[in-house]
């Protein structure tokens, strides 16, 4: 192709006082800017051959855990944070339960909050400070309770995937049976559903008898501290739930 035809293709023929050398250089600069850096490739190319689609590697499949969970607290704690736990494939580190393994009072939450992973502990932020005040109001301290969550890792958007609910509920019930507390406080709907199969509004106000693997526990459901921060009007109800939790409990 001659410079004149190239210029013609660019619509520059007929322009008065046109310098074809300047126009050709400008056209070449345009092709370079568009990514054309060679006139002829070293290897021939069949332009009519179908373009091969890239082969995508299959996404890794996380096996669904099956079988019995460990029957000792130490083995279960290691298993719960290991690769066979239901939430092992989620992002972030697993937040371990805290407190004595055989505490009189166990508290079960739904999942870690966003600030819990950097702190390495459940209920470490503003909700946790309110939680500590709630415990102190009924004569309890965090150091003497067993604190755990249904999900050891935080799910996406803080919502438990429906396909894992049953397995995570099994883990929570097994966890409670291993600790065998005298009283169990369920904070939030996810924890209440895992143990009592009911949301907090339906379950609260009663001391439920929870039986699992020969272990009987008195369970009370109440609002999560993070909800109390958003809706302080529920604090009066939460106070009554806490009183129900410790009623008749020797301290």
What does each C-alpha distance from 203 to 15, 162, 173 come to in angstroms?
85, 21, 17
pTM above 0.75, yes or no: no
Q: What Å distances lie between residue 216 and 155, 177, 202, 219, 251, CA to CA? A: 30, 8, 21, 9, 19
Cα angle 106, 107, 108 (rounded to 5 degrees) comes to: 120
> What DSSP designation does 66 have?
-
- CATH architecture for residues 73-246: 3-Layer(aba) Sandwich (3.40)
Torsion of CA 40, 43, 46, 49, to 10 degrees: -130
pLDDT along the chain (251 residues), means of 10: 44 50 68 63 66 43 56 93 91 92 95 91 94 96 96 85 92 96 96 96 94 89 96 96 90 55
């Amino acid at each position: 192709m001659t410079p004149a035809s190239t210029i013609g293709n660019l619509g520059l023929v007929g322009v008065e006082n046109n310098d074809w050398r300047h126009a050709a250089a400008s056209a070449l600069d345009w092709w370079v800017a568009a990514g054309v850096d060679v006139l002829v490739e070293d290897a021939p190319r069949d332009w009519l051959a179908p373009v091969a689609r890239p082969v995508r590697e299959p996404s890794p499949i996380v096996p669904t855990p099956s079988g019995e969970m460990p029957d000792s607290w130490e083995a279960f704690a290691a298993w719960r944070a290991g690769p066979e736990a239901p939430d092992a494939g989620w992002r972030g580190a697993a937040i371990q339960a805290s407190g004595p393994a055989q505490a009189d009072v166990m508290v079960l939450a739904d999942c870690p909050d966003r600030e819990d992973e950097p702190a390495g502990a459940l209920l470490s932020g503003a909700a946790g400070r309110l939680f500590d005040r709630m415990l102190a109001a009924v004569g309890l301290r965090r150091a003497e309770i067993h604190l755990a969550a249904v999900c050891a890792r935080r799910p996406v958007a803080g919502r438990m995937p429906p396909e894992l609910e049953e397995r995570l509920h099994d883990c929570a019930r097994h966890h409670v049976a291993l600790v065998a507390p005298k009283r169990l406080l369920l904070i939030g709907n996810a924890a209440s559903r895992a143990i009592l199969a009911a949301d907090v509004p339906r379950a609260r106000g009663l001391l439920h008898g929870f039986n699992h693997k020969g272990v009987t526990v008195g369970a009370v459901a109440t609002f999560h501290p993070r909800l109390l921060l958003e809706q302080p009007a529920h604090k009066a109800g939460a106070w009554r739930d806490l009183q129900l939790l410790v009623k008749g409990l020797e301290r």
